[in-house]
Homo-oligomer: A and B are copies of this chain.
């Protein structure tokens, strides 16, 4: 029997915990890793940034569309993106995994491999967690981060006249979802973007250093998430489509599927780009591109000065 054979029930809780924790290399900031009642992680700033996201099989991922590694990476990435969006540097992640007893052990190992791969991409490790039985695969990740003596960048600091900029991909995951939904598995670029985002973690702290007044990670869709900034900051935001980068790949996929790639860029979620506002004339750090301006609150969220009429982002349960 290969080490990956069998179900989690056959493997047993403690052997499974060993299988997903042993041989992993914790970064120096993990002062005490898995195996005790709780982990101990460095918090040099004296404050800790903390966020939790839950991913549910069939709602946030499908194992017939994604490998366990993709899902593990995604579960960690969406959480680390929240830390980056506060202007903080990730320090660790903790994982709660609920899965059916007949889940193949190799699925759990694959999830753990993906989680570790993404954590390492951000310079952190998985310092703790819990594994329990459930009817459905549910992955809960908590990510912690350090502010490095900077103030957190919230959603509420945008001011009229600020520029709006983004860093990272927009519309790719939505294009991938459209492709997968038609039963295709390519082009692999957009399909993989749907399977797992690639948030630009370092762009968050750099934006904070450059003076970002508000920031958010684009999880629900650009217009929806700019709407969150608009609401929290009591401002309007105008997106200028002429400044949006529509990659050739999205244009091609849109043409093939009869869809407008601009829709994906404006309303597609799950890419976890960062969107931020900066004072006018700020010299933006590398990778940030201006796509609009902060306007007066009564303007609301507009596209090229006009209200956007299509469904802007999604909410759960609806």
Interface, chain A (partner B; CB < 8 A): 8-9, 12-14, 31-32, 35-56, 58-60, 81-83, 85-86, 88, 92, 94-98, 101, 127-136, 138, 140, 142-145, 147, 152, 154-156, 215-217, 232, 315-318
The smallest beta-carbon distance between A126 and chain B, in angstroms, is 11
The smallest beta-carbon distance between A155 and chain B, in angstroms, is 5
Closest residue of chain B to A41 (Cβ to Cβ) is B48
- Provided the pairs A38-B50, A47-B41, A51-B37 are in contact, do residues A32 and B316 lie with their beta carbons within 8 angstroms? no
Determine which of B47, B127, B135, B155 lies in contact with A42 in the assembled complex, contact meaning CB atoms within 8 Å.
Answer: B47
Please determine whether B144 and A48 come into contact, CB atoms closer than 8 angstroms: yes
Q: 4 closest Cβ contacts across the A-B interface?
A: A38-B51, A140-B140, A43-B43, A54-B96
The smallest beta-carbon distance between A90 and chain B, in angstroms, is 10
Please determine whether B96 and A50 come into contact, CB atoms closer than 8 angstroms: no
Please determine whether A317 and B12 come into contact, CB atoms closer than 8 angstroms: yes
Please determine whether A46 and B42 come into contact, CB atoms closer than 8 angstroms: yes
CB neighbours (8 Å) of A143 from chain B are: 38
